[in-house]
């Protein structure tokens, strides 16, 4: 597995670091800059190995290894088995383990570990300088680094705080990256859900408008023209079945916990425009459809063209029908231009309502998404006009 390979690589690196630290500690004990330890020379290497061992396994049990590294450093210091003048070397493994602890555990735990390590190291050095150092034989040559407990304590404290600070920073960056990834993922899901909601609005709005019109016709001619009633009921049945199927598919996606980006709805394009025109004609709107497609549209742009025409025809059916309407779609390889114009209600009847609402907002958003333009409004000679321009890259992207 990938995580096992990464852990194995880090384990090998930690083992190599442990060997390097052990060599440094052992050499410092054998050839100290100050007084020599009273321990035999051969003990330097077992002591160095014991002090450095927690580094090799610090990622598997970071808290336990931190306690072991600190306790080992304190014991070898108090016992006098350290290099006088560079006693702080005994706590270098503690610093390296503390870095991992700060990078992997909550801050309150890492702060507790830092405080415990600082207290243990300071106490051990004070005991060493107070009880052990006076009994050691003096150095044969002048010390390269004269023993000084304030310097030793200062160096250890700086190293421990630095290791903790670096580890805490790494943990903070990891947490921020994880939060950013989650935020981007949630934003993508939210955007996809909004897209599905727009599709649901378009589907329901168009279908219910058609059903309402056909039901009204059937109710008015029920006694006089039963054949027309049966035809209207057939349209209502077919529209209801197809709409329910699409609604179930949309609601299934909204309830799913999977990746909405991968579960996109199969939506029609320019090829579905004649079907929209036929639906509008069955609702009493005389539709004149003209499609001039000189180049293939990218799928996303084709969906937007379809939805704009669908919503515009839904508004005509709802607010102006029965009437006459012309739908023109022109595609020239660089942009798609949509225009839907109706003549307004016949016999001077005022429209049932304005052409506003969420439908126009959705159409405007679709055009704006491609950097295009959208306009909608009443015509001086009567009726309503909807126009949209959707530019796109000939290679398939948006401009």
pLDDT 10s digits, 229-271: 666 676 676 667 766 766 666 666 555 554 444 444 455 688 8
pLDDT of res. 96: 94
Q: Is the pLDDT of residue 389 over 50?
A: yes
Q: Is the pLDDT of residue 154 over 60?
A: yes
Confidence of residue 173 (pLDDT cuts 50, 70, 90): very high
Confidence of residue 1 (pLDDT cuts 50, 70, 90): very low
pLDDT of res. 215: 72
- Whether the Cβ atoms of residue 383 and residue 391 lie closer than 8 Å to each other: no
Q: Is the pLDDT of residue 104 over 50?
A: yes
C-alpha distances in angstroms, 19 versus 30, 51, 94?
16, 11, 15
Lowest mean pLDDT across 28-32, 169-173, 251-255, 303-307: 251-255
Closest alpha carbon to 159 in 118, 108, 106: 118
Do β-strands 335-342 and 324-331 pair in parallel, antiparallel, or remain unpaired?
A: antiparallel
Cα 226 to chain centroid, rounded: 58
Encode pLDDT of 41-70 as tens digits.
788 888 889 999 999 999 888 999 999 999
What average pLDDT does the segment 384-388 reach?
93
Encode pLDDT of 125-153 as tens digits.
999 888 887 777 665 555 555 677 888 89
Q: Is the pLDDT of residue 384 over 60?
A: yes
> What's phi and psi for 261, nearest 5 deg?
-65, -35
Q: Which residue has the higher pLDDT, 374 or 253?
A: 374
What average pLDDT does the segment 176-198 reach?
75
Could you count the other beta carbons within 10 Å of the beta carbon of residue 37?
23
Confidence of residue 222 (pLDDT cuts 50, 70, 90): low
Residue 373 tokens, joined: 């333009």
pLDDT of res. 358: 58
Residue 357 tokens, joined: 């609402």
- Sorted by sequence, the CB contacts under 8 Å of residue 50 that are 6+ apart come out as 72, 76
Share of the chain above pLDDT 90, in %: 27
pLDDT of res. 141: 56
Lowest mean pLDDT across 32-36, 258-262, 282-286, 346-350: 258-262
Do β-strands 324-331 and 286-293 pair in parallel, antiparallel, or remain unpaired?
A: parallel
CA distance 257 to 105: 30
- Whether the Cβ atoms of residue 192 and residue 260 lie closer than 8 Å to each other: yes
Q: What is the CA radius of gyration of the chain?
A: 39
Q: What average pLDDT does the chain have?
A: 79
Q: What is the pTM of this model?
A: 0.54
Q: Is the pLDDT of residue 200 over 90?
A: no
Please tell me the number of Cα atoms within 13 Å of 54 on its side-chain side: 27
Encode pLDDT of 314-326 as tens digits.
888 877 768 899 9
Encode pLDDT of 68-101 as tens digits.
999 999 999 888 888 777 788 899 999 999 999 9
Domain parsing of the chain, residue ranges? 2-183, 270-399
Closest alpha carbon to 46 in 68, 72, 64: 72
CA distance 367 to 304: 8
pLDDT of res. 169: 94
- Whether the Cβ atoms of residue 366 and residue 308 lie closer than 8 Å to each other: yes
pLDDT of res. 295: 77
Q: What's the fold here for domain 270-399?
A: Heat Shock Protein 90 (3.30.565)
pLDDT of res. 221: 66
């Amino acid at each position: 597995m990938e995580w096992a390979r990464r852990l194995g690589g880090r384990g090998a690196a930690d083992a190599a670091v442990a060997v390097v630290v052990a060599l440094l500690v052992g050499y410092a004990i054998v050839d100290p800059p100050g007084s020599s330890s009273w321990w035999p020379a051969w003990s330097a290497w077992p002591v160095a190995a014991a002090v450095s061992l927690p580094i090799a396994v610090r990622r598997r049990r970071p808290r336990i290894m931190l306690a072991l590294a600190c306790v080992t450093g304190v014991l070898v210091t108090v016992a006098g088995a350290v290099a006088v003048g560079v006693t702080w070397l005994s706590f270098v493994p503690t610093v390296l383990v503390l870095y991992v602890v700060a990078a992997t555990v909550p801050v309150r735990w890492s702060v507790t570990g830092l405080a415990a390590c600082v207290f243990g190291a300071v106490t051990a050095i004070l005991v060493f300088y107070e009880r052990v150092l006076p009994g050691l034989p003096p150095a044969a040559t002048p010390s390269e680094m004269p023993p000084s407990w304030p310097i030793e304590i200062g160096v250890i404290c700086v190293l421990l705080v630095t290791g903790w600070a670096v580890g805490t920073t790494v943990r903070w960056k990891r947490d921020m990256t994880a939060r950013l990834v989650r935020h981007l993922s949630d934003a993508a899901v939210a955007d996809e859900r909004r897209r599905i909601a727009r599709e649901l609005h378009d589907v329901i709005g168009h279908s219910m408008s058609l059903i309402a019109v056909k039901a009204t016709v059937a109710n008015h001619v029920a006694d006089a023209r039963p054949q027309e009633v049966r035809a209207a009921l057939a349209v209502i049945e077919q529209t209801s079945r197809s709409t329910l199927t699409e609604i179930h598919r949309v609601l299934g996606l909204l309830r799913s916990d999977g990746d909405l980006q991968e579960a996109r709805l199969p939506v029609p394009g320019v090829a579905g425009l004649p079907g929209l025109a036929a639906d509008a004609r069955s609702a009493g709107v005389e539709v004149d459809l003209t499609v001039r497609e000189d180049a293939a549209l990218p799928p996303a742009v084709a969906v937007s063209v379809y939805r704009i025409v669908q919503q515009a025809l839904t508004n005509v059916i709802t607010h102006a029908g029965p009437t006459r309407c012309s739908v023109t779609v022109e595609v020239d390889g660089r942009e798609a231009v949509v225009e839907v114009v109706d003549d307004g209600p016949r016999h001077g009847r005022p429209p049932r309502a304005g052409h506003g609402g969420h439908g126009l907002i959705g159409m405007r958003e679709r055009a704006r998404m491609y950097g295009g333009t959208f306009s909608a409004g009443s015509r001086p000679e009567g009726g309503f006009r909807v126009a949209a321009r959707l530019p796109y890259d000939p290679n398939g992207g948006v401009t």
